[in-house]
Amino acid sequence: MTTAQRPTSEHPRRLVLTLGCPDTTGIVASISGFISDIGGWITEASYHSDESTGWFFTRQAVRIDSPEISIDDVRERFASIAAAIGPDAEWSFTDTAVEKSVVLLVSKDSHCLTDLLSRAERGEFPATIAAVVGNHRDLEELTTRFGVPFHHVPFPADGKAEAFAQVRGIVDGYDPDAIILARFMQILPADLCQAWAGRAINIHHSFLPSFVGARPYHQAFDRGVKLIGATCHYVTADLDAGPIIEQDVSRISHDYTTADMVRQGRDIETLVLSRGVRWHLEDRVLVYGRKTVVFS
Amino acid sequence: MTTAQRPTSEHPRRLVLTLGCPDTTGIVASISGFISDIGGWITEASYHSDESTGWFFTRQAVRIDSPEISIDDVRERFASIAAAIGPDAEWSFTDTAVEKSVVLLVSKDSHCLTDLLSRAERGEFPATIAAVVGNHRDLEELTTRFGVPFHHVPFPADGKAEAFAQVRGIVDGYDPDAIILARFMQILPADLCQAWAGRAINIHHSFLPSFVGARPYHQAFDRGVKLIGATCHYVTADLDAGPIIEQDVSRISHDYTTADMVRQGRDIETLVLSRGVRWHLEDRVLVYGRKTVVFS
Amino acid sequence: MTTAQRPTSEHPRRLVLTLGCPDTTGIVASISGFISDIGGWITEASYHSDESTGWFFTRQAVRIDSPEISIDDVRERFASIAAAIGPDAEWSFTDTAVEKSVVLLVSKDSHCLTDLLSRAERGEFPATIAAVVGNHRDLEELTTRFGVPFHHVPFPADGKAEAFAQVRGIVDGYDPDAIILARFMQILPADLCQAWAGRAINIHHSFLPSFVGARPYHQAFDRGVKLIGATCHYVTADLDAGPIIEQDVSRISHDYTTADMVRQGRDIETLVLSRGVRWHLEDRVLVYGRKTVVFS
Amino acid sequence: MTTAQRPTSEHPRRLVLTLGCPDTTGIVASISGFISDIGGWITEASYHSDESTGWFFTRQAVRIDSPEISIDDVRERFASIAAAIGPDAEWSFTDTAVEKSVVLLVSKDSHCLTDLLSRAERGEFPATIAAVVGNHRDLEELTTRFGVPFHHVPFPADGKAEAFAQVRGIVDGYDPDAIILARFMQILPADLCQAWAGRAINIHHSFLPSFVGARPYHQAFDRGVKLIGATCHYVTADLDAGPIIEQDVSRISHDYTTADMVRQGRDIETLVLSRGVRWHLEDRVLVYGRKTVVFS
């Protein structure tokens, strides 16, 4: 589904390496030697040594001036470097000239949808929004205004399994790099969590792990907290407990009703989700266990 | 224990009314009429109508230019106004010229203690720190540097009840307006929570209700959150679940160890606690149920 | 141009009083007595006594349960109260059931426009966006997607005066409650600043007073600041120096290019502008001299 | 003046390399090869390629397990690597086991002084505070409470040059790694700015470049800004215009007097200064031109 993306001055072509492996001496020397060998120029380099697990993580963005070098060649050549680093090394090498695609799952709330469509339209993401799937028709007209196809999949109380099967068929047809639950109010079944592991991203309208589950603003109101928050995380079979990509909060006061929280919360939700989505699409998020390294 | 405080240009004398009652028409008219009648001048007025409970809350700071008016007179005269407002009205009238006093409970961590002693010394609080009680001697020397008496009460594993009885005796001897648990690592027994209800204030080093109990930074590390926080709340018999006065957070990243969190967390803890303590001492915090109205 | 707005549970009908006057005793008693007299119920009340000028400011939102009371009656009855308060009192009484209207001035940048159109569409503002005027056609299609009329007024270098006259004609035809310069890149002439005083609102992409004028992100880059900001302010003849309604900032780091600042800055600009616009439309902003009181 | 510091589990021994040079391929490979050669283990690595100047910057923290390797050996061996990287390369290699020292310049305000003394006492900085110099005696007693020598140097209006000469003599006697102007109200003469270039750090109580010079909170009050700030920067001969290390802001409202700003501003000033000082002492700040790279 991906198509060639024309690099622009705002989004110049970069090869992006991400790598995680048990830490040992010489890894950085190997990688930087390799990049130097292929005539690459490191424009961004980030490293993290995790003391608690003994793992090492890196992300490197590489400028390549010779356009004839293909990402497939680079991957083939890097494979032997990675093998020398160790058998457990996990890595990817991507080319920002290859555009990614995204599918959004929505329900009735429009704020995250509008925000993501707008950002994609003005080129903030290195991706196109290929389609939107909604369990209601409320957001169909809004979606099509932006020239994006909308698929309606009803979720009857006694037919959720079939509905999810249908959603899966539609989504997988686009082979997307990310499936974004943009205030989708249905809980993904375990098989979908598994099939979309590392690609399905949710926005939860609380500062997790506080206020898991339904109606978090009502929970926040009842508890009398002084800040509300939002959390962008990878979806796992464990509800609202997947690896956190990004979080933020916003101050409220005693005179906020839950309706006020809902209104103000929209701004935090859209910001947090859009950051998480961009970082995911730019290969800035490395998952390990239930946590993430984010080289933002 | 309280002594006359000389009002200064930075802390001019004010009479402070706080009132909470079932909402009805005419309350504000009654109060402002009263203040006008006694020749008072409202310098700060805050109101809150809580839709979910139907209660009304107000705080008003009043300048009185005639020094002969005493707070006792004012209270006596206001009692009939309050009675007319309704039998459930809860109110207080205080005089900032009467200095308040505070007792701190500490253990080994110095950051909140130093911060509170420093702020008190430079006059940020309308109160004096009357004494510090520690379950270790670690902070004795620091406390006495600021000219404040330190009481050491050991907490042997098999003698906590006796230790708390001793603490209670010391604290109650000062009759303080606030008992601050400034990183005191002992859980107050139910009878003390009861005796000091509305006066005992704790700082918990997480964004509650996340990470209740022991070692919250370790819990935060394990969960992989992207912000750490601190919560200042009134102490109740329900651990870390009392009415929240103030909270704040601070951004961390994947490269923070728990030691880094502990270091950075100190800054949030001291800020959040000092704000909560100041607002409490300035009669800006009204408790209702498990929540607070904070007229900051 | 305004039409009757149907109050909803999210936006119930309120009468909103704002008043500023030289401070004296008895003002609050007069106002609250009046509101009590007309059977009103204060749902929000805010006060501010400005020590430096000796002025007093208040905003009160009043619930009226008898629908037959008209805002014109209320104004007529309040006029005598205001006269008794003093000859310099400035006040307004508005009815949230009367919908307000807004006209936007834009150029080529879409982020503030999309954000304001989306918020208006989902009912966050007590106003409709009546029209958009652009000095380029770039945003015409986007505007019309939201069902809002777009007026194109070219700004040739040698014909700006005529262009502004044309803009004025269009805008004044809508008699709007607010004229929002949503990244409009033209400087309003003095006569328009005068004609639209207190209704024209601009968003400047810096934390004013830093970086007045053109290309503030480039100025910020050159100075090496660690935070970028945005400022929403009333337009006056003095460039970027009008009364500030709202400001906010966002952290950057040494690796931000000006393009990165532009991208991240969009989020701050949209948030700051949308807050300022909402507060203005809800009669929460009182201007005095070159400053504002914001009862948010 | 520096003495051997015993590395602890919280502050383990690290060799820290900082390097800036015109960007070219192979720099990272050279450095990481070198570190690998000496048996070092990179625990933190940060890189920045500045597109506008074409310079490259890096900071690397290196664990060395063989205690017999001395920092002098490392420097000698790295010199040839640096020479190969290019003649303009600027670099330093420091050993965290060698403790640094700091001298503070103060006047009458105690908040930054108390904060820095407390942090140093609890080991937050890899440095000792060797001495405090004050142009008044107000803070002498506070300083000596922390066991730090205090030098009083009066600044008569007609004898400032002599006073500064005396300050210089005292400060240079300690040969400090940092000279902190902790709310020192005197403007350093050009010769001292020159002599202490890259070591003298000031805290200014505004969000620079706004409100340069005297009484910034009064300037902020007059302008009606909605946030106040503080800026930590290196001192240069150009007043309040040196390279910025850190900034932060804090929200205020229309009801803040300048006294309220002064009180709240203290918290921002202490936080911003303490962060800047720590980063400087940990060799995280690289200056280029009038800007800084901060590898925090």
**Could you report the per-residue pLDDT of B161-194, keeping only the tens digit for each?**
999 999 999 999 999 999 999 999 899 999 999 9
- A2-39 b/e (C-beta count within 10 Å ≥ 16 → b): eeebeeeeebebbbbbbbbbebeebbbbbbbbbbbeee
ipTM of the complex in this document: 0.94
Average pLDDT value for residue range A25-40: 88
pLDDT of residue A68: 82
Residue A137 has pLDDT above 90, yes or no: yes
What is the CATH number for B264?
3.40.50.170
Question: What DSSP character marks residue B41?
Answer: E
pLDDT of residue C51: 85
Burial degree of C223 (CB within 10 A; 0-12, 13-18, 19+):
middle
**B41/C25 CB distance under 8 A:** yes
In C135-226, beta strands by DSSP E? 150-152, 178-181, 200-204
Range of the domain at C27: 15-95
Residue D24 has pLDDT above 90, yes or no: no
Q: How far is CA A255 from CA A105, B56, B91, C248, D210, in A?
A: 33, 11, 20, 22, 33
**Residue that is last in its domain, among D95, D118, D143:** D95
Per residue in B22-40, pLDDT (tens digit) is: 998 788 889 988 998 898 9
Q: Is A250 on the interface with D (CB under 8 A)?
A: no
Query: Please, which residues 63-92 of chain D have a Cβ atom closer than 8 Å to chain C?
Result: none
**C263/A124 CB distance under 8 A:** yes
Q: Do residues D84 and D26 both lie within one domain?
A: yes
Residues in chain C predicted with pLDDT less than 70, given as ranges, are 1-10
> How far is it, in rounded angstroms, from Cα D121 to Cα B181?
22
> How far is it, in rounded angstroms, from Cα D131 to Cα D147?
9
Nearest chain B CA: its distance from A154 CA (Å): 34
Per residue in D214-250, pLDDT (tens digit) is: 999 999 999 999 999 999 999 999 989 999 999 999 9
In a domain, A10, yes or no: no
B232 near B273, Cβ under 8 Å?
A: yes
Phi/psi at B257 (5° precision): -85, 170
- Test the D interface: residue of A10, A14, A32 with most D CBs within 10 Å: A32
Whether the bond between B209 and the residue before it is cis, its omega within 30 degrees of 0, is yes
User: In this complex, which of B223, B246, B290 lies closest to A209 when CB atoms are compared?
Assistant: B223
- The residue from D95, D109, D240, D283 that is catalytic is D240
What are the residues whose beta carbons fall under 8 Å from the beta carbon of A116, sequence distance 6 or more?
A: A102, A104, A129, A180, A182, A273, A274, A277
Per residue in A69-93, pLDDT (tens digit) is: 899 999 999 999 999 999 999 999 9
What the block records as the tokens of A295 is 């080289």
User: In this complex, which of C207, C244, C292 lies closest to D207 when CB atoms are compared?
Assistant: C207
Whether the bond between C67 and the residue before it is cis, its omega within 30 degrees of 0, is no
Q: Do residues C143 and C69 both lie within one domain?
A: no
In a domain, A5, yes or no: no
* Range name among A15-19, B49-53, C126-130, C208-212 with the lowest pLDDT average: B49-53
Q: Looking at the DSSP assignment, which residues form a beta bridge with residue C114?
A: none
Phi/psi at B41 (5° precision): -130, 115
> Considering only alpha carbons, which residue of chain A is nearest residue C270?
A267
Phi/psi at D230 (5° precision): -145, 150
In a domain, A143, yes or no: yes
What the block records as the tokens of A176 is 């997307």
Per residue in A165-192, pLDDT (tens digit) is: 999 999 999 999 999 999 998 999 999 9
* pLDDT tier, D1 (very low <50, low <70, confident <90, very high otherwise): very low
Q: Do residues B169 and B65 both lie within one domain?
A: no
Phi/psi at B78 (5° precision): -75, -25
pLDDT of residue C54: 92
Q: Is D26 on the interface with A (CB under 8 A)?
A: yes
**Residue that is last in its domain, among A59, A77, A95:** A95
> Considering only alpha carbons, which residue of chain C is nearest residue D293?
C254
N-term to C-term CA, chain C: 27
> How far is it, in rounded angstroms, from Cα C161 to Cα A55?
65
> How far is it, in rounded angstroms, from Cα C19 to Cα C6?
26
What is the CATH number for A29?
3.30.70.260
Q: Do residues D166 and D256 both lie within one domain?
A: yes
How many domains does chain B divide into?
A: 2
Q: Do residues C243 and C181 both lie within one domain?
A: yes
In a domain, B10, yes or no: no
In a domain, C129, yes or no: yes
Contacts of A229 in chain B (CB under 8 A): 227
Q: Specify whether D240 is catalytic.
A: yes
**C118/A124 CB distance under 8 A:** no
Contacts of A124 in chain C (CB under 8 A): 263
Q: Do residues D49 and D184 both lie within one domain?
A: no
**At which residue do the structure tokens 């929403």 appear?**
C232
Q: Do residues D79 and D152 both lie within one domain?
A: no
A211 near A219, Cβ under 8 Å?
A: yes
In a domain, A2, yes or no: no
Residue A15 has pLDDT above 90, yes or no: yes
In a domain, D118, yes or no: yes
- Test the A interface: residue of D32, D44, D253, D293 with most A CBs within 10 Å: D32
**Residue that is last in its domain, among A95, A110, A128:** A95
pLDDT of residue C115: 98
Q: Do residues B289 and B162 both lie within one domain?
A: yes
A13 near A95, Cβ under 8 Å?
A: yes
Residue D10 has pLDDT above 80, yes or no: no
Q: Do residues D107 and D220 both lie within one domain?
A: yes
**A246/B255 CB distance under 8 A:** no
Q: Do residues C62 and C206 both lie within one domain?
A: no
In a domain, D2, yes or no: no
Q: Is C124 on the interface with A (CB under 8 A)?
A: yes
